[in-house]
Amino acid sequence: MTKKELSQLYYLKKEIKEQQKRLSELEALATSCTAKITGLPNGNGVSDKIANYATEIADLKSLLDLNLKKCFYELNRLNRFIDSVQDSKMRMILMLRYIQNLSWQKVAFAIGEHDEQYPRRKHNAFLKKCKLDENDELNIVE
């Protein structure tokens, strides 16, 4: 697994937060709109703001639901990968970094180290080794 693949959960969560923020803004706009009742029919070119907000809210809710499902899938995939790692310290580093989204400094403190470079180097060496192992497997298959 690559750093990019491992980081997908983080970016999905960020995207979901932004969508939730936008949804709250749209719902606030929709509730603050009041229809003008004049007793006269609407003319051409006049748009219904509430209807526009409602369709945008519905679209955003379906997109948000899809991203939540993707997030759940990524979390499961990430957990399966981390559980497959033999080294318990590496499992902890991966879990702290990619599941809990901790900074390298906080990861270092959590595993009893004071230098953030320690878990970062160990992580990078592990991913490099994983990549080499995958290439070796591919060479055997080919």
pLDDT, one tens digit per residue, over 94-142 is 999 999 999 999 999 999 999 999 999 999 999 998 876 665 543 333 2
pLDDT, one tens digit per residue, over 15-54 is 999 999 999 998 888 887 655 556 656 555 445 777 888 8
58 and 119 part of one domain: no
Per the domain annotation, does 135 fall within a domain? yes
66-69 long-range Cβ contacts below 8 angstroms, 24+ apart:
67/12, 67/15, 67/16, 67/19, 68/16
Per the domain annotation, does 137 fall within a domain? yes
* Cut 0.85: pTM above it: no
Domain that residue 65 falls in: 1-33+48-84
Q: Which helix (H) or strand (E) holds 109?
A: helix 104-110
Looking at the 3D structure of the chain, how many domains does it have?
A: 2
Per the domain annotation, does 118 fall within a domain? yes
Ramachandran region, residue 112 (left: φ > 0; alpha: ψ -120 to 50; beta: rest): left
The CATH number that applies at residue 91 is 1.10.10
57 and 98 part of one domain: no
CB 57 within 8 A of CB 48: no
7 and 64 part of one domain: yes
102 and 75 part of one domain: no
